[in-house]
């Protein structure tokens, strides 16, 4: 089994500095980690330098609390000539219930591979890409 599909790209322990006025983790913090995990997958798949061009609707299904261990799992959706689309699934291991992960949200992000002048540039072939 491909270890990249069963292991999270990123795992973060949520801290008090990340809370909103309601006392839960601020959604923007989660969005930032989603973007980072997706970009890491894009690089794994052959991109060198990416910029985010689109993130599909993100619906937060459950709150995240201080002390939760949040995992960001990635999956390749599509590879184009200069762009790559990645799905990120977010789960939280509750600080009081480490036995079960709760799904928090998921997102589909499209990145464009760019050169040093910030122009789109073709992706390099990767040994990790799924062949269809």
Domain with residue 25: its CATH number is: 3.10.129.10
- Residue 124 falls inside a structural domain: no
In a domain, residue 23? The reply is yes
Confidence (pLDDT) at 95: 67
Tally the domains of the chain.
1
Q: What integer pLDDT is reported at residue 1 of this predicted model?
A: 33
**Tell me, what's the pLDDT at 100?**
73
Residue stretches of the chain with pLDDT short of 50: 1-4, 131-132
* In a domain? residue 126: no
Is 127 part of any domain? Answer: no
Question: Cβ(28)–Cβ(14) under 8 Å?
Answer: no
Q: What is the Cα–Cα distance from 65 to 45, expressed in whole angstroms?
A: 32
The pLDDT assigned to 128 comes to: 59
The answer to the question of residue 44 being in a domain is yes
In a domain, 42, yes or no: yes
For residue 77, the model assigns a pLDDT of 96
Give residue 127's pLDDT: 60
- A 10 A CB-CB count for 46 gives 17
Distance CA 7, CA 64 (A): 20
pTM for this entry: 0.87
Domain that holds residue 61: 3-113
């Amino acid at each position: 089994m491909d270890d990249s599909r069963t292991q999270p790209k990123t795992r973060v322990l949520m801290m008090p500095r990340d809370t909103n006025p309601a006392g839960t983790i601020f959604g923007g913090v989660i969005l930032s980690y989603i973007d980072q995990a997706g970009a890491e997958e894009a690089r794994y798949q052959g991109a060198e330098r990416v910029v985010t061009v689109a993130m599909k609707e993100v619906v937060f299904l459950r709150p995240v609390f201080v002390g939760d261990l949040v995992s960001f799992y990635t999956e390749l959706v599509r590879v184009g000539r200069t762009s790559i689309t990645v799905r990120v699934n977010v789960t939280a291991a509750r600080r009081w219930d480490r036995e079960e992960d709760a799904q928090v949200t998921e997102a589909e992000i499209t990145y464009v591979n760019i050169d040093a002048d910030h122009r789109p540039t073709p992706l390099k072939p990767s040994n990790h890409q799924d062949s269809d």
